[in-house]
A and B are shown apart, each in its own frame.
Chain A
């Protein structure tokens, strides 16, 4: 009985000493040396990869990147809970967000294109046809020169950045008809690949052989066409900070905007570098050329 008490006591002391040692010998990180970025799942891979590269060369710095969606990112940065809010859309476009309190950093561009199932037999659509399909006026692929297969719309979730961009620039601001919805690009692609007559839209980085990419008005969805705005369905990827971000946040955003990251990582991950853009677009959708 007594022996076991002693052992218990010793064990407790040992644990206490270990915890104390751990605490005093921890890697010292000054306040603000760890930042958190939360938001868009489409932007998450880039920030995550950049964060890993950034902290691998600088000891004691930790960049914590989380998904959760653009809405989460914007509301977290608005309530000052994180250092960076990742978003697919302009803060001005998100209801419930006061864009004046936030600072926008555009770090990449994403092109979005319609994809259809291989069986459809369509490789080009006019914008008018695209609108008719997504608003439910065209119900069979025969009507737009394809095979006799009914159209199955696969939309993205309400409020998602990809859907907003697509509705604004591909459908000229028209709302698409109520239809199936999926909240992620990967699922949308695999559903289009396996469902006859299906149409959806994904970012360029999700193109693969399982689906047919569609040209709009004869323009191919390529990086070169996005740069000149010939392909109009694209959006910025934003890192939002408060108006006065701390030093590390500033440095990290500059790092993402540096040529090293923009030339390599951004391309590897299938985004388009902001440095390559020959045009720029405002939150209201106004296009102007970059010198």
Chain B
């Protein structure tokens, strides 16, 4: 009697496996989250040292325009003004997103609404292929094609925000296009059918119904593209000129956070002010990708609400 009772009350093998499986998969997830926190900890511990160990004023860091950590600036403090890089990064990101957006959305609409078959056969594979091209190659082509083109058409030396923008435009185009296409595809078919049944033309359907419904998804695509542009290093570094000057115009040499970071990190000694200042730049990058993500999530949540209404 007791034996039967025991075997009935005992956890079955399936339950044990279930428990084990759940723990394993939870562990995997925890590992990923742990890595994120580890990265934040490492970058912050170095990046904050600039302010706590070397006693640089945070405001000076963000608003100063002189970047030469080895020497003292006009005010007697070490010259660690990151404003030129911050401005350069923002300008280049926003401009490239501005140019890429109409192209990406146009192509995405073409792929999903006008010629789905050609879209799936030609456009999709090509865009997916481009995601895999290493950024070095983009930079290389930028150096050979974009920089001379900018120099001849717009003047200046050719190195600057404009060249960087063009290179980034091509780099983020595939990402934004394929994500926008996903957003358009996710719009339910009956939206289109209802609109067409009401006598709307195809363009009216696209413009008034499909695009509106897909706005949150497309915004996510754009913000995602911007995040990529913001963090891109090697390609931009080759064409932007890397001058830590406030950008005067779009064709004067400028710099971004990533370009100064990759150039300088090998030439500094760990623990020195020069090195810490570069880690502070990395920390700004990290915080910015955090902001981009919060924006994406905010848009996503708003989009969901709209749909439910």
Direct A–B touching in the complex (beta carbon < 8 Å)?
yes
Q: Which one, A158, A197, A198, contacts B264 given CB within 8 A?
A: A158
Is B269 a contact of A175 with CB atoms below 8 Å? no
Is A179 a contact of B253 with CB atoms below 8 Å? yes
Bits for B241-271, please: 1 = Cβ < 8 Å to A, else 0.
1111100000001010000001111111111
Please name all residues of chain B whose beta carbon is closer than 8 Å to the beta carbon of A71 when the two chains form the complex.
266-269, 274-275
Least Cβ–Cβ distance between A54 and chain B, in angstroms:
25
Least Cβ–Cβ distance between B163 and chain A, in angstroms:
12
Please name all residues of chain A whose beta carbon is closer than 8 Å to the beta carbon of B264 when the two chains form the complex.
157-159, 183
Within 8 A of A (CB), among B250-298: 253, 255, 262-275
Q: Which one, B70, B158, B253, B263, contacts A95 given CB within 8 A?
A: B70
Verify if A200 is at the interface (C-beta below 8 Å from B): no
Q: Which one, A67, A157, A180, contacts B157 given CB within 8 A?
A: A180
A170 to B266, CA, bound (A): 24
Is B265 a contact of A69 with CB atoms below 8 Å? yes
Is A157 a contact of B243 with CB atoms below 8 Å? no
Interface segment, one of B14-22, B143-151, B176-184, B196-204: B143-151
Please name all residues of chain A whose beta carbon is closer than 8 Å to the beta carbon of B159 when the two chains form the complex.
180, 191, 195
Chain B residues within CB distance 8 Å of chain A: 68-71, 143, 147-148, 151, 157-159, 237-238, 241-245, 253, 255, 262-275
Q: List 8 A-B contacts (CB under 8 A).
A: A68-B266, A95-B269, A179-B243, A179-B245, A180-B243, A191-B143, A194-B143, A195-B147
| Nearest-CB residue, chain B, relative to A67 | B266
Is B266 a contact of A96 with CB atoms below 8 Å? no
Verify if A75 is at the interface (C-beta below 8 Å from B): yes
Please name all residues of chain B whose beta carbon is closer than 8 Å to the beta carbon of A123 when the two chains form the complex.
none
Is B241 a contact of A96 with CB atoms below 8 Å? no
Is A158 a contact of B253 with CB atoms below 8 Å? no
A184 to B177, CA, bound (A): 34
Please name all residues of chain A whose beta carbon is closer than 8 Å to the beta carbon of B148 when the two chains form the complex.
194
Question: Told that A160-B267, A180-B242, A181-B241 touch, could you supply 17 new A-B pairs with CB distance under 8 A?
Answer: A75-B269, A95-B269, A96-B268, A96-B269, A96-B272, A96-B274, A158-B274, A178-B245, A179-B243, A180-B159, A181-B244, A181-B263, A182-B242, A183-B237, A183-B267, A191-B159, A195-B159
Please name all residues of chain B whose beta carbon is closer than 8 Å to the beta carbon of A181 when the two chains form the complex.
241-244, 255, 263
Is A74 a contact of B253 with CB atoms below 8 Å? no
Is A180 a contact of B241 with CB atoms below 8 Å? yes
Please name all residues of chain B whose beta carbon is closer than 8 Å to the beta carbon of A158 when the two chains form the complex.
68-70, 263-264, 267, 274
Verify if A187 is at the interface (C-beta below 8 Å from B): yes
A31 to B270, CA, bound (A): 28
Please name all residues of chain A whose beta carbon is closer than 8 Å to the beta carbon of B245 when the two chains form the complex.
178-179
Please name all residues of chain A whose beta carbon is closer than 8 Å to the beta carbon of B151 when the two chains form the complex.
195
Q: Which one, B69, B71, B262, B273, contacts A175 given CB within 8 A?
A: B71
Please name all residues of chain B whose beta carbon is closer than 8 Å to the beta carbon of A179 when the two chains form the complex.
243, 245, 253
A50 to B268, CA, bound (A): 26
Verify if A97 is at the interface (C-beta below 8 Å from B): yes
Verify if A70 is at the interface (C-beta below 8 Å from B): yes
Please name all residues of chain B whose beta carbon is closer than 8 Å to the beta carbon of A194 when the two chains form the complex.
143, 147-148
Least Cβ–Cβ distance between A83 and chain B, in angstroms:
18
A159 to B270, CA, bound (A): 13
Within 8 A of B (CB), among A186-212: 187, 190-191, 194-195, 197-198
A45 to B241, CA, bound (A): 26
Is B157 a contact of A198 with CB atoms below 8 Å? yes
Least Cβ–Cβ distance between A156 and chain B, in angstroms:
9
Is B271 a contact of A70 with CB atoms below 8 Å? no
Is B274 a contact of A69 with CB atoms below 8 Å? no
Is A69 a contact of B275 with CB atoms below 8 Å? no
The 9 A-B pairs with the shortest beta carbon distances in the complex, nearest first, are: A69-B266, A96-B272, A159-B267, A96-B269, A183-B263, A180-B241, A75-B269, A181-B242, A157-B263
Verify if A152 is at the interface (C-beta below 8 Å from B): yes
| Nearest-CB residue, chain A, relative to B237 | A183
| Nearest-CB residue, chain A, relative to B265 | A69
